[in-house]
Amino acid sequence: MPKMKSHSGAKKRITKITKNGKVKRAHAYRSHILNKMSTKRKRQLRKAGYVDKSNAPNVKVLLPYK
C-alpha cells in the first residue's frame, strides 16, 4: 500500500503533537506589518498555542505521520 500524503498547509502550521495528544501550533499575524502592533502583542504571539480540542481530530487526519 502506498504512503499517505501529508497536507502541505497543515505541515507548515502545526509544529508537533504532544504526548497527551494535543496539537501544538504557531500563532498567526507574525510575518509582516508589525510596526503598528504593540510590543506586548508581538511578544505574546511568539509563544505557541494549541489547536482547539474540537478541531484536533481533523488536524491529525491531515498529518498522518506526525
Residue-level pLDDT at 15: 87
57 grid coordinates: 481530530
How far CA 26 is from CA of 18, 19, 59, in Å, comes to 14, 18, 14
CA distance 26 to 16: 10
Q: Please say whether the structural domain 8-62 has been given the CATH code 3.40.50.300.
A: no
Task: Report pLDDT digits (tens) over 5-63.
Answer: 999 999 999 989 999 999 999 999 999 999 999 999 999 999 999 999 999 999 999 99
Residue-level pLDDT at 1: 87
> In sequence order, what are the residues at sequence separation of 6 or more whose Cβ sits closer than 8 angstroms to the Cβ of residue 23?
14, 17, 50, 51, 56, 59, 60
Q: Provide the residue ranges of all domains of the chain, joining segments of one domain with +.
A: 8-62
In contact, 59 and 14? CB cutoff 8 Å: yes
